[in-house]
Amino acid sequence: MRKTLLASSPAARYAAGAAIGAGGVWCFAPFELYWLAPLVWLGFFQLLRAASTTRQAALAGLAFGLGFFLTGVSWVYVSLSVFGGMPWWLAGLAAFLFCAVMALFPMLAGALFKRWQPAEFWRQALYFAVLISAADWLRSWIFTGFPWLAVGYSQAPPSPLAGFAPLLGVHGLSLLVALSGALLVRWRFGLVFLAGLTAAGFGLRQIAWTTPDGEPISVALVQGNIPQEMKFEPAAFVHTLELYLDLVAQHPAQLTILPETAFPAFFDQLPTDYIEALKDTVRSRGGDLIAGTLSGDGERYWNSAISLGTSPLQSYSKTHLVPFGEVIPPGFSWFLDLAHIPLSAFTRGPKGQPPLAVAGRQVAINICYEDVFGEEIIGALPQAGILANLSNTAWFGHSLAQPQHLQIARMRAAETGRPMLRATNTGMTAIITADGSLQAVLAPFTTGVLHGSVRAYRGMTPYGTWGNRPFLVCLSLLLLISQFRRKY
């Protein structure tokens, strides 16, 4: 493969890079060809090795990144054009520029690889893996972070490598995947390494890092399937409230969860008799309800979740907001005039909010995009025994966003050793077990309620205790090893 790439023109290599990047999306949900991931990053490794200059390696990384992100997060265009009302050409340009910014991370990795490329193959492989995983980690926090499609997500359950998630988290998995791919250049050794890694991951999957705490509780996760174009329309408001009340009444459970902004209005402006009807319904069976709504104090407003029922009234407000969707950076107020996104100036909720005490359990709430950030999720541990995500991905239509988001949630469960309950407007509403396996899932774009039972868990995984620190230590050590030059 490398000889072919060396013989080809730079333009052909850039085209190959874009194609390899686009093919990388097949490693993730909904395709979940996790075994393909080492081969994809093998291809990228070979592209960088074949580059003659730092500039060529940087452009190869940019081409790979453009192919990867333009294919994998094409749903950005859907949210801006179809539901945001932005002209198609401007939405296309905005989506392209967003993907181009994301492609700067593999571009940087490519440039750094060629600039300080070690002479020995083994150190090249280590250095490549360090750069790929470091780029993913950097992307997870810079400019508030966008870690979507980090390489390690391709190894969420059912991949046997998911066994490493409770130890090293998603970025540690990125490191292992990139290293496996690079070592496949020496295919016999690479296959042995990958087989050993797979066996180790399978063995780690058998370890119960956390243990059940208490008896199972019944849950009902409501999927309203309210079209995004109707969600904030006054004419649909009464229908929305009636739909959720009917679904709650028809599907009793100890814990009922409604999606993000299920009540598309400020909570204190909802009809009093409606709130009392919901309370009476869930109290009559000794249960609790968590629902997404809006809260405010007259000057500021929050994307919130509130609890109603047997337990006292409690709330959680989203802390990690989506740039351009929930918070507009300074100087971009013109974006609101073009995108027509309602409620795009939320206030961040306070840090360190406690889990909600509902149905006799401690439930840590995260809203939509927040479950993409593993180190923020573990902030609720060890108090929380259950994780719950309330989402509205109707903004992204029939796209890859929903299955990709479900895959991300499965990684959070595997990292923390906690079950994850997902209540979404249009999908994917699901119950995820403490090891990241899917217990049950509703078909997307249907109105329904997912029933099941779930147990709280106690104890801590290594990742739950240390977060990304073990990964960063490994990253630093491998970087030193890759750049160490023996002197004779």
Q: Find the helix packing angle between 401-416 and 165-183, rounded to 10°.
A: 120
33: part of which helix (H) or strand (E)? none
Q: Which one of 27, 32, 99, 318 is the catalytic residue?
A: 318
Rama region for 99: left / alpha / beta (φ>0; ψ in -120 to 50; rest): alpha
Alpha helix locations (H) across 116-164? 121-139
Residue 384 structure tokens = 């929380």
Nearest alpha-carbon partner for 440 in 246, 212, 218: 218
Q: Is the peptide bond before 428 cis (omega within 30 degrees of 0)?
A: yes
Task: Compute the distance between CA of residue 130 and CA of residue 134 in angstroms, rounded to an integer.
Answer: 6
Q: Establish whether 215 is a catalytic residue.
A: no
Q: Which one of 99, 114, 231, 260 is the catalytic residue?
A: 260
DSSP sequence for 414-457: HHHT--EEEEESSS--EEE-TTS-EEEEPPTT--EEEEEEEEEE
Answer for the pair 211, 203: CB distance below 8 angstroms, yes or no: no
Q: Establish whether 368 is a catalytic residue.
A: yes
Q: Establish whether 260 is a catalytic residue.
A: yes
Neighbours of 187 (CB within 10 A): 11
Q: Which one of 27, 99, 368, 474 is the catalytic residue?
A: 368
Residue 398 structure tokens = 């029939």
Answer for the pair 420, 387: CB distance below 8 angstroms, yes or no: yes
Task: Compute the distance between CA of residue 108 and CA of residue 346 in angstroms, rounded to an integer.
Answer: 33
Residues marked as catalytic? 260, 318, 368
